[in-house]
Amino acid sequence: MTREVISTEDAPKAIGPYSQAIKANGFVFCSGQIPIVPGTGEILNGSMAEQTRQSLSNISSVLEAAGSSLSNVVKVTVFLKDMDDFGEMNEEYARWFPADPPARAAIQAARLPRDVGVEIEAIAIA
């Protein structure tokens, strides 16, 4: 089994003891991404659509660093601060996965890191 730590400056640095992603056995396991703007480290406190867009952009950058892409994603988990934001998140999410979207779960969490509205994690084929 091979295990490779994936790290890129094009996505936010980990804010804890974890890697942006791990590539192992033909898959890329992306840690949850919140709407942090790479480079500045600032939280994007915009609409749910904007937060979703930034989180997915961060995942896309991590996947690219691993030699993969959003088109190879097989499973996504979306954590929402408030399930009432599901519709707005879902509308933006659909723009990132226009055809043959991956399997997905969406869960309301009691609290997310830095009190953001959304966190998204993904598993992709390497």
**What is residue 6's three-state secondary structure?**
strand
Say if 77 falls within a structural domain. Answer: no
pLDDT digits (tens, 9 = 90+) for 88-111: 999 999 999 999 999 999 999 999
Q: What is the DSSP letter of 52?
A: H
Say if 43 falls within a structural domain. Answer: yes
Instruction: Name which of 113, 85, 97, 87 is nearest 56 in CA terms.
Output: 97
pLDDT digits (tens, 9 = 90+) for 2-53: 899 999 999 999 888 999 999 999 999 999 999 999 989 999 999 999 999 9
37 vs 8, 83, 94, 123, CA distance in Å? 13, 24, 21, 21
- Give the residue numbers spanning the domain of 29: 3-72+82-125
Residue 115 has a pLDDT of: 94
Residue 19 has a pLDDT of: 97
Provide the whole-model pTM: 0.96
What is the domain-level CATH number for residue 111? 3.30.1330.40
Question: Structural domain tally of the chain?
Answer: 1
